[in-house]
Amino acid sequence: MLTGILLISLVSFIAVVSYRRPKLEQRVIKNIPVVDWLNIFVFPIIFYFGLTMIVKNIMIRPRINILDFEDVQLLGVGALFLIYAFVGMSVHFVGKVLSRYIRRNTQSKIYYINEIFHGKLSHYITFVCVYMVLFTLALLEINYPMTDKLTQFSILFIIMAGTLGGFSATKMIFYTNTWFGGYNKPLFLITLAMLLVLTGIYRSDNLKLAYYPLNILVSMVFTGIIGTFIARQFMVFSRLSKKRRLQFLSRILSV
């Protein structure tokens, strides 16, 4: 379980670091940047192996009927969203590569259509589906608590991994220089809604998270995404002029 959690957190962080490395963007293999090859082939495979380790660990535990879900239903839904997440990454891969060779022209239909696929469409598909994979696996684990309570070291390790994953996700998902810019608003609200749903389940069923390592991870990832993004907005707000601050606040209140 801890190995799978470590793989998922590290690959998310490394993906962010590599994506922002100009050298990997400049180095090209077969007319495609190295970073894009990593994002479409290497990182998803590592992420998949991490998820596989986690699911195998969950399924060998004794089942307790807490939520009224069939395992096949949740695993099927999770697998479906995992497939669509890779579809979204593939769409983004093609759109991003083509954007290097298509001249920027807002009057061009080819440029406009490619930007749709390269922009919101691929990002929504990828991020929402990854959210749903984590969410469905968290629900699955609720019926499979660990027989032994996690040690304090293990809990601290998972919290740190989840925080790192949440920070990495924030850097990948959001345009952090504006409040709810681009596709930030719906993804922010989806993250908040999923966290509230999980928190509501924990409280209503009096669950002890020390027996649910994946739920600790997912909760910390979602909390990390929300916390990092909000903290970033306060940093942006503090550097704005008085006029820009009023515009900033009006956008928040209009949400």
Residue 160 lies in a domain: yes
Average pLDDT of the chain to the nearest whole number: 87
Predicted pLDDT at 173? 65
- Render pLDDT for 119-144 as a digit per residue (tens, 0 to 9): 778 888 888 899 899 999 999 999 99
Residue 106 lies in a domain: no
> Cα torsion for 57, 59, 62, 66, to the nearest 10°?
110
- Render pLDDT for 134-185 as a digit per residue (tens, 0 to 9): 999 999 999 999 999 999 999 999 999 999 888 887 777 655 444 444 456 7
Q: Is 206 helix (H, G, I), strand (E, B) or coil?
A: coil
Percent of the chain with pLDDT over 70: 93
Q: Tokens 């994506």 appear where? A: 19
- Render pLDDT for 186-198 as a digit per residue (tens, 0 to 9): 788 899 999 999 9
Number of H helices, E strands in the chain: 11, 2
Span 100-129, mean pLDDT? 85
Span 40-51, mean pLDDT? 94
Please give the tally of structural domains in the chain.
1
Q: Are 251 and 179 in contact (CB under 8 A)?
A: yes
Banded model confidence at residue 26, pLDDT cuts 50, 70, 90:
confident
User: Is pLDDT larger for residue 247 or for residue 122?
Assistant: 122
Residue 53 lies in a domain: no
Alpha-carbon distance of 199 to 206, in angstroms, equals 10
Span 24-50, mean pLDDT? 90
Domain range spanning residue 185? 150-255
Banded model confidence at residue 46, pLDDT cuts 50, 70, 90:
very high
Residue 209 lies in a domain: yes
Banded model confidence at residue 254, pLDDT cuts 50, 70, 90:
low
Residue 229 has pLDDT above 90, yes or no: no
Residue 207 lies in a domain: yes
Span 29-37, mean pLDDT? 89
Residue 75 lies in a domain: no
Helix axes 122-142, 43-59, angle to 10 degrees: 20
Residue 234 lies in a domain: yes
Residue 56 lies in a domain: no
